[in-house]
Structure 1
Amino acid sequence: MPDRPEIVCICGSTRFGDEMSAANRDLTFAGVIVVAPGVFLRAEDHEADELITNEQKATLGALHLRKIDLADRVLVVNPGGYIGESTSREIAYAHATGKPISFTDPV
């Protein structure tokens, strides 16, 4: 048995909050430590731009990269194969740091 449980960082568009929550639940029940986005703003929220500043977006993006640093591997939640700009950046970062990456749907 390892000294600690595996740590998985969930990445993906925050529009898939329900799917990320389900992945988080399934991984947690499997004994995995999960780190994931902490703020979910959907694209269809017309007031989303009023809820979060560009500075906050940048801070959250940098924070998520640190979560990737903590993880043993990355799980990309990508229903229908969708990968947006932020998730692409996170995948590139994970790849550059040697983290194994898996996807919930084919890319």
Structure 2
Amino acid sequence: MSCSQPLTPEGKLADAKKRLSLPRIVVVCGSTRFVTEMNEADLQETKAGRIVVKPCVDMTSPHELWSAPAEAEAEALKGRLGDLHRAKIRLADDVLVVGDYIGDGTRAEIAYARSLGKPVRFTHPEVDPGA
């Protein structure tokens, strides 16, 4: 007679992905200054048969949602986008960090992914803060 341990939320998610025969999910992380490189990574990862999630909002580009007079709302939006990106990291099977620069935000995302046991790959391995 075997006593199986109840699945953690992470285990339930992994089990559901397996039961649904989902391909691996990769989340792209990095500075939005590398949006072109993120799009190329998306293309290459998709070509390799992976589901790709990545940042879709570049708050450094002008947009009415975060330009004056909406500047006060922009900080709240930035926080919500950060929460959403951490959810993408939890959903993903692994992380791909794009670019030859790692800022504080990306460094925090890498640390978060690693704290969850997610494999982290780099387009420029020399910038890995854990190397």
TM-score (norm 1): 0.86
Aligned to 1:57: 78
1:71: how far off? 0.3
Q: For residues 24 and 114 of structure 2, what CA distance do their matches in structure 1 show?
A: 18
Amino acid at match of 2:91: L
- Structure 1's consecutive aligned runs of 4 or more residues displaced over 3 angstroms after TM superposition are none
Which residues of structure 1 form unaligned runs of 5+? none
Contact 1:11–1:76 (8 Å) recurs in 2: yes
Q: For residues 76 and 58 of structure 1, what CA distance do their matches in structure 2 show?
A: 20
Equivalent in 91, 102, 111 of residue 83 of structure 1: 102
The alignment partner of 1:82 has SS state of coil
1:76: how far off? 0.2
Q: For residues 25 and 78 of structure 2, what CA distance do their matches in structure 1 show?
A: 24
Q: For residues 94 and 30 of structure 1, what CA distance do their matches in structure 2 show?
A: 22
Q: For residues 47 and 81 of structure 2, what CA distance do their matches in structure 1 show?
A: 26
* Equivalences, count: 101
Q: For residues 74 and 35 of structure 1, what CA distance do their matches in structure 2 show?
A: 10
Amino acid at match of 1:84: G
Q: For residues 31 and 114 of structure 2, what CA distance do their matches in structure 1 show?
A: 18
1:69: how far off? 0.4
1:5 is aligned to 2:26: no
Q: For residues 62 and 93 of structure 1, what CA distance do their matches in structure 2 show?
A: 12
How well do the aligned residues superpose, as a CA RMSD in angstroms? 1.8
Identity %: 49
